[in-house]
Chain A
Amino acid sequence: MVSENIITICDGTGCIQKGSDKLQAAFEKEIAAKGLGDTAKINLSGCLGMCDKGPVVVVNPGYTIYGNVAEDDVTEIVESHVINGNPIAKLAIQEDHLFNRFFRVFGDAKFFGKQMRIALRNCGIIDPENIDDYLSVRGYEALAKVLTNMSPQDVIDQVKKSGIRGRGGAGFPTGLKWQFTADQNSDEKYVICNADEGDPGAFMDRSAIEGDPHTILEGMALAGYAIGAKHGIIYIRAEYPLAIERLEKAIEAARASNLLGKNILGSDFYFDIEIRLGAGAFVCGEETALIRSIEGKRGMPRPRPPYPSVSGLFEKPTLINNVETWANIPVIILDSGDWFSTVGTEKSKGTKVFALAGKVVNTGLIEVPMGTTLRQIIYDIGGGVPDNKQIKAVQTGGPSGGCLPVEYLDTPVDYESLAEAGSIMGSGGMIVLDETSCMVDIAKFFLEFTQNESCGKCTPCREGTKRMYEILTRITEGKGQLGDIKKLERLGNMIKKASLCGLGQSAPNPVLSTIANFRQEYEEHINDKKCRAGVCVELLIYQVTDKCVGCGACKRVCPVNAISGAKKEQHSIDTDVCVKCGACMDTCKFDAIIRV
């Protein structure tokens, strides 16, 4: 019998939904039934990122990843793998060879092959609710190191040397931000973790916190030491209950172990962290708006300067970094800034986490070295586009970013290259679009979001995004007019120039980038009243082909009696009456109804 067996069950939201909670009970029962006792241990881990293969179970030794595990498989896994040491090939996710710290734990799978995990280094490996697990992977070692051997300026110098830039999207050099805040003379300073992840379609921060909350606390404590702050605040979305719960537990455990609070690790350093909840306002991701929100007010941005590093929360010097940035800090201190700067490209150091979603086979959370190309991410890690469809575009940066067409697939992922190509790095949303996605509709989707989330302070953003949304709506409804594209471009450029904060300055990007790269689609919508992707309902026509056998099923289901035809003869649809609900097409058993 193999002595140390560790069965890790993914406890992320995706896997729970697919039944991982039942698996835990099943494994416990099976281990008890076989009398394995202490030789087999069950771990619950944070999101492993392979959400579409959930529930995911990893069995060590053997580093075997099992996907889509059902309760019925549990007995076999325990008998064959745990007791006899024979991994079950048919249940395992089999893929290519790879190298990475992460893989030494999790073994071979193509999904992980091009990845490199620094920020997410512990996600899926340790139990996020157990501080001892974090300590066993060198947790809080960086904090001990700076408290015994490093001056605050040494810490800042390491962060500067690493070349890390803000992971929230704008890419400001983190070390400089720390230096500015440290240089301020003030009796009170604050360290803030921005976990107000509002980009629709992105869940990097949530998974990072759920999988490894202590890393964030340690990163913030390191900053507190470096800049001379006593108070840390984590501003997190109220929509993330599990992440909040795990943070609360982590803070409590850290306080109990003297890693937060007074006289940390026997030094005279004091640092404590509290959690403040957001309440669903996208603009609060902007740092000055976030500060207003923590102060209990409407989250509206204010002009900068003064920057928060000079006058931030309660008008005191404040250092704000994004969750992913914080997660990198302990590694930079432990392995040195010089080491960190060897990863990535010349101007963009380290790795970046992306939430890969949309029309791609493997959706989930990935972390790649800067400089990896979009093609590598989508095809090597993401497994390409499902259902043999053609990829049309990649959207990065969410509502502030742009859509890049296929020609740009070889663009390396770094701040400059993405900006040159016409999109942005953003916080890490990456949505793959295929031929069934309409670019005008996607632009409309993002504008609907930004015009709704605009705080209303600047007129160009408040009114301009509404007008742009109206124009896009009429284009998708077949009422587009000549000159609409020009109007969108003019409005868009004006909003970008005349808005105060990042929301307004970037809100027109999805529209401007789709016009730049997919102008033809806009022209088709306006001039030919056609939507090639078949998304814009008002522009579609339903037709009956000669496959029709005249069964009459469509006729019965049509809510407006638009279908006529004698029994056993080909029917036809009166397009003037048709409301384009699609009920006939869903009902037809002979695929005789098409949409053109």
Chain B
Amino acid sequence: MIGTEDKKIEQLTSFIKSVADKPHPDSYLIAVLHKAQELYGYLPREIMDVISEQMNIPTANIWGAATFYHYFNLNPPGRYTISICLGTACYVKGANDVLNAIKNHLEIDLGQTTEDGLFSLQPARCLGACGLAPVIMIEDKIHGDLTPKSVVELLEQYRKREK
């Protein structure tokens, strides 16, 4: 359960207040959801209720927007989020093999988090680094020219770093 009096709520509330006086304040809903995800890493149900009350928008509408856009997570992500690019350039250069290697190695599917909470796996449409295809992004770092073998080694490096 997320406490309603924590610091993050304060930050979120002040962000909502900062847009409240602008023309068409409802139109900032997506921006508010971005802010909430930046703070919590995902969009907890309780937070949607908070946003609903403060912006005076029904939770159902917020839920509708949050589920419409792929960028918003409804479940807590792992320590590292792996975004695997499944854009065309990566696809023709073997992104699917890399994806399968990650799935097998971490024993998770797209949209899931490993049991130890270390990695979560997300598809990305195009990371815009087509010259380096196939690529994945972990945190803000792009790793390119991957093979099923090298990606497993890469993940192990991250795992070692945690230990």
Residue numbers of A with Cβ under 8 A of B are 13-14, 17-18, 51-52, 54, 197-203, 206-207, 238-241, 276-282, 293-299, 314, 355, 357-359, 363-364, 395, 398, 429, 431, 433, 437, 442, 445-446, 449, 455
CB <8 Å contact, A201 and B89? yes
Residue numbers of B with Cβ under 8 A of A are 24, 26-31, 33-34, 61, 64-65, 68-72, 86-93, 124-133, 140, 142-144
28 residue pairs from A and B, CB less than 8 Å apart: A17-B129, A200-B87, A201-B88, A201-B89, A238-B34, A239-B124, A277-B30, A279-B69, A279-B72, A280-B69, A280-B125, A281-B68, A281-B69, A282-B125, A294-B27, A295-B24, A296-B26, A296-B27, A298-B64, A298-B68, A314-B27, A355-B130, A357-B89, A357-B130, A358-B89, A358-B93, A445-B91, A449-B125
A17 to B143, CA, bound (A): 7
A52 to B89, CA, bound (A): 13
- Which 10 A-B pairs have CB atoms at the shortest separation, nearest pair first? A51-B131, A201-B88, A279-B69, A296-B29, A203-B128, A200-B87, A357-B89, A280-B71, A280-B70, A357-B130
* Residue from the set A13, A201, A276, A364 with the largest chain B CB neighbour count within 10 Å: A201
Within 8 Å CB of B69, what residues of A? 278-281, 299
CB-contact partner of A276 in B31, B68, B87, B132, under 8 A:
B31
Shortest Cβ distance from A455 into B: residue = B68
A201 to B87, CA, bound (A): 5
Within 8 Å CB of A455, what residues of B? 68
A442 to B133, CA, bound (A): 16
Q: A296-B26, A357-B130, A446-B88 are in contact. List 7 more A-B contacts (CB 8 A).
A: A201-B88, A201-B91, A206-B128, A276-B30, A279-B70, A358-B93, A429-B88
Within 8 Å CB of A446, what residues of B? 88
Within 8 Å CB of A51, what residues of B? 129-132
A294 to B91, CA, bound (A): 31
Within 8 Å CB of B87, what residues of A? 200-201
What's the A-B contact tally at a CB cutoff of 8 Å? 126
CB <8 Å contact, B126 and A201? yes
The distance from the CB of A111 to the nearest CB of chain B, in whole angstroms, is: 12
The distance from the CB of B103 to the nearest CB of chain A, in whole angstroms, is: 13
CB <8 Å contact, B125 and A363? no
The distance from the CB of A366 to the nearest CB of chain B, in whole angstroms, is: 12
The distance from the CB of A424 to the nearest CB of chain B, in whole angstroms, is: 15
A276 to B29, CA, bound (A): 11
* Residue from the set B34, B69, B143 with the largest chain A CB neighbour count within 10 Å: B69
- The answer to whether A363 and B92 touch (CB under 8 A), given A276-B31, A296-B27, is no
- The answer to whether A364 and B131 touch (CB under 8 A), given A201-B126, A241-B140, A299-B68, is yes
Within 8 Å CB of B68, what residues of A? 281, 298-299, 455
A198 to B87, CA, bound (A): 10
Within 8 Å CB of A433, what residues of B? 92
A433 to B92, CA, bound (A): 8
CB <8 Å contact, B130 and A17? no
CB-contact partner of A13 in B30, B64, B129, under 8 A:
B129
- The answer to whether A296 and B34 touch (CB under 8 A), given A52-B131, A239-B71, is no
A239 to B85, CA, bound (A): 12
